[in-house]
Structure 1
Amino acid sequence: MSMQEARQDMVARQLAGRGIADERVLRAMGEVPREAFVAPAHRSLAYADGPLPIGRGQTISQPWIVARMIEAARIGPGSRVLEIGAGSGYAAAVMLQMDAHVLAIERDPALAEAARLRLEDLGYELELRCADGSAGAPQSAPFDAIIVSAAGPRLPEPLRRQLVPGGRLVMPVGSAEVQRLLRLTAPDPPGSGNPRTEDLGGVRFVPLLGAEGWPL
């Protein structure tokens, strides 16, 4: 099976076959070459139904998880998105393929530089910062959606404040052993009530380190 065939099989079986319904997400994940975002030793497993190591103790998430988070964030053309924990850059590439405007933050300098070069080589344009992203990017806010690809002890209050009215924060929360994927939706109009938080199911992510995450 070629990489293109494996990619389409992944979209059909792992994503659409397990409930991902957003056609924009399915189309983008059928177009982005996931094999470009994994180490050469793991390229034959690029479309396997699971996470893969990308070095520095980090992983590229299972394709279904990437699709689930992007679908849950309700991202569309023109959406302003903050991604915290860019890793290899794969999720950012999927969102860029959907014509979103993405600001990505990665705290590990080696991963950040590798992701920047990889995305540039593939023709994607975005701003990628190397920083502690746990408190977001207040100077660049507000955002239509914030996706956090690491698990923290709680939904950080600074991230809530960086959402537009009706904006979505999608983030895993919990300990190393037990985590839940949560979606917080900001009230619209502002002040009309409390944010709405939904539990989207159990997940397993690396820890979010930093000022609003777990201590270093």
Structure 2
Amino acid sequence: MIDTYRHKGMRRKLIEELRAMGISAIDVLDAFDQVPRHFFLDSSFTNQAYSNMAFQIGEGQTISHPYTVAFQTQLLNLNKGQRILEIGTGSGFQTAILCALGARVVSIERQRNLYISAKSKIAQLGYVPNLFFGDGYKGKASYAPYDSILVTCGAPFIPEDLKNQLKVGGRLVIPIGEGDKQIMTRLTKINEEEWKTETFGDFSFVPMLTKTAK
């Protein structure tokens, strides 16, 4: 991996842009400084890697806008050492951000090619999340309960399996809705029967699909 002073300078510029857009969590901004986003994109996009843009990464999927990644991560209010379930590994960039924050990450990807690519790139950065190829709607019960769950694709509804795998006091951050726009939603598990629901405006994600791709 090549990470030059130029790349680092572009990261610092992006961080200042995120700060101006309302990302205030210092640990999240520090994680963005640590993780080279250009490493998760085709080399032809190096000059644009630190722009606040989404990019196609194959299999009909995208690497989200840096602001979207930062915003979702900030909503989790993570503490180091917490166990996090991520639904939608994608390029692996969000996974690496969670690892940089000191989380114990379990991540599921339904596209095999993306799973293989992300696994390789994350390992090269020295992070060791538990990555799985599978159906995100089912979560990963064998590692539950989770302190937080992050869904990085647009869900038509909130999967019950994910709610069941969250600790009491934990947070589920999920964009809900079908079509071009979803409502960013944070659910906090008060107890086994009661939830606090907060919404944070419209975002745009690729859809959360049910079947894994071979």
Q: Could you tell me how far apart the structure 2 residues matched to 1:11 and 1:162 are?
A: 33
**2-structure distance, mates of 1:22, 1:79:** 17
Q: Which residue of 2 aligns with 1:209?
A: 209
For residue 2 of structure 1, give the secondary structure of its aligned residue in structure 2. Answer: helix
Structure 2 SS opposite 1:28 = helix
RMSD across aligned C-alpha pairs, in angstroms? 1.2
Distance 2:106 2:34 in 1: 21
Q: Alignment partner for residue 63 of structure 1, among 60, 63, 66? A: 66
User: Which residue of 1 is the match for residue 157 of structure 2?
Assistant: 154
- Report the residue type matching 2:182 in the other structure: Q
Distance 1:33 1:88 in 2: 12
Moved more, 154-163 or 88-97: 154-163
Q: Which amino acid aligns with 2:179?
A: A
Q: CA offset at residue 40 of structure 1?
A: 1.4
Q: Which residue of 1 aligns with 2:111?
A: 108
TM superposition score normalised by structure 1: 0.93
In structure 1, the partner of 2:11 is 7
**1:166 aligns to what?**
169
Q: Deviations over 1:28-79 (max 9, x none)?
A: 1111100001111212111111101111111000001001101101112001
Cα distance in 1 for residues equivalent to 2:119 and 2:181: 32
Task: Please show how residues 177-196 of structure 1 align to structure 2 within 5 Å.
Answer: 177-187=180-190, 190-191=191-192, 194-196=194-196
How much has 1:128 moved relative to structure 2?
0.5
Structure 2: distance between partners of 1:148 and 1:67:
13
> Stretches of 4+ moved more than 4 A in 1?
none
Instruction: Indicate which of 119, 123, 127 corresponds to 1:124.
Output: 127
**Cα distance in 2, alignment partners of residues 6 and 52 from structure 1:** 17
- Per the alignment, residue 143 of structure 1 pairs with 146
Structure 2: give runs of 5+ residues left out of the alignment: none
The TM-score, its normalising length taken from structure 2, stands at 0.93
Residue 180 of structure 2 contacts residue 205 of structure 2 at CA under 8 Å; is this kept in 1? no
| 1:17 alignment partner in structure 2 | 20
Q: Distance in 1 between matches of 2:138 and 2:77?
A: 22
**Partners of 2:30 and 2:181 in 1: CA distance:** 32
Amino acid at match of 1:43: T
Match of 1:214 in 2: none
Distance 1:177 1:117 in 2: 31
